[in-house]
Amino acid sequence: MRTIHQCGHNDLRFAVIIPKPSREKRWTKTLWVYDLLTNMLFTQKTNPLQRDDLDEFVECDRPGKRHLRKPTWTEANPEGRWRSFDYEDLMKRDKVNLDIFWLRDKSLEDSDDLPPPDVLAQEIAEDLQTALEQFTAIAEKVKG
């Protein structure tokens, strides 16, 4: 039997399939996570993911030397992308949810500089009205 954990971050979705152990002893004490996506913008055409974008992860992962892993995230370095989570802490999460975030998304920090809601609503209404007028004009041209 396997347990499937759905995880999501930004537009990336994946499932972690963990075989259910047939023994009492758990297989790991620590889950290591590297956050590649927060504050990074990868696109297929203008900024595709390159091998060198994974260099920090490979260096942190220390294949073959896992016992030497060190997190880059600390309270003193809250921008670190490599972090460990204790098994016991993960088991305490609601439904053992692995949707894990710790980096602040800088694109959301600008919300303090937004205009008041009534101004935003008016701008949105004007944009929608302009779009409707443009689509109406196109529909008239297509109709002939």
Q: What are phi and psi of 82, to 5 degrees?
A: -110, 120
* pLDDT at residue 82 in the model: 94
With H, G, I as helix, E, B as strand and everything else as coil, classify residue 101: coil
Q: What is the mean pLDDT of each run of 10 residues along the chain (144 residues)?
A: 41 47 69 89 84 92 89 94 89 83 79 76 87 90 86
Nearest Cα to Cα of residue 90 among 21, 34, 30: 30
Rg (CA), the chain: 23
φ and ψ at 123, to 5 degrees?
-65, -40
pLDDT score at 31: 86
For the record, the structure tokens of 117 come out as 């809601």
What's the pLDDT at 7? 46
Q: What is the pLDDT of residue 89?
A: 87
Tell me what pLDDT residue 75 has: 92
Q: What sign for the dihedral angle of Cα 125, 126, 131, 137? A: positive
Does pTM top 0.75 for this prediction?
no
Q: CB of 33 within 8 A of CB of 43?
A: no
